Amino acid sequence: MLNLILFGPPGSGKGTQAANLVDKFNLKHISTGNLLREEKAKETPLGLEAKRFMDQGLLVPDEVVIGMISSTLDNEAHKVKGFIFDGFPRTVAQAEALDKLLDFKEIIIDKVLSLNVTEEELVKRIVHRGKTSGRVDDNEATIRQRITEYENKTAPVAEFYQKQHKLVNIAGEGSVDEIFKKLTAQVEILQP
């Protein structure tokens, strides 16, 4: 299996690049943001709980997200060549829980690709995306809150994977193609 985490702040291009990597390496894309938005749209109990946090730019509680990932892994792990996690883990507790879930299935994370983008560029990109995405959290006030959550709770996840020697920093500004080439090169090093 080939299992990757695409890491970085909101607006760093994780969704776009995950879609490209999925196509190239035939992986299963797991985006907790997309899964939560689906639950929200269907107005399931989980979706309604998540909505209260998402619409304010706050992280959804760990137990909600970890439960969702756990059932996705149970349903998919035996069917796929590998996973690309996008927007997960977003806290150290989630990273620890993921390691436990994967250990149990004798699967490892091979690499964590971290996209680095400055805050001003992030805000610019998300405001621009908000014009077409229809996402209620793509407005400037909510974006600033999402970036604050990222700095306080998510940035420490990078250190967690740095200690496991899995973190690779990639400059996330430039064209989609240029960044994709850098990501691909990192994945190809892993392949025999």
Residue/partner pairs of 71-75 with CB below 8 Å, 24 or more apart: 72/30, 72/35, 73/101, 73/102, 73/105
- From 16-24, 59-67, 106-114, 177-185, give the range in contact with ligand AMP by CB under 6 A: 59-67
Q: Which residues 6+ apart lie within 8 Å of 58 measured at CB?
A: 145, 149
Tokens found for residue 190: 């892993």
Query: Active-site residue 146, yes or no?
Result: yes
Binding mask 88-127 for ligand AMP (x = CB under 6 A): x-x---x---------------------------------
**Is 13 among the residues that bind ligand AMP (CB under 6 A)?**
no
Q: Please identify which of the residues 28, 37, 124, 129 carries the catalytic annotation.
A: 129
Comparing C-alpha atoms, which of 1, 23, 3 is closest to residue 98? 3
Query: Active-site residue 52, yes or no?
Result: no
Using the rule CB under 6 A, which residue among 6, 18, 21, 59 binds ligand AMP? Answer: 59
Instruction: Identify whether the C-beta of residue 84 lies closer than 8 Å to the C-beta of residue 21.
Output: yes
User: Least distance from C-beta 151 to ligand AMP, angstroms?
Assistant: 13
- In degrees, to the nearest 5, what angle opens at C-alpha 177 toward C-alphas 172 and 182? 55
Query: Active-site residue 14, yes or no?
Result: yes
- Cα 120 from Cα 37, distance rounded (Å): 26
**Is 146 among the residues that bind ligand AMP (CB under 6 A)?**
yes
**Is 87 among the residues that bind ligand AMP (CB under 6 A)?**
yes
Q: Please identify which of the residues 28, 37, 124, 135 carries the catalytic annotation.
A: 135
Query: Active-site residue 144, yes or no?
Result: no
- Cα 42 from Cα 45, distance rounded (Å): 9
User: Least distance from C-beta 49 to ligand AMP, angstroms?
Assistant: 11
Catalytic residues: 14, 90, 129, 135, 146
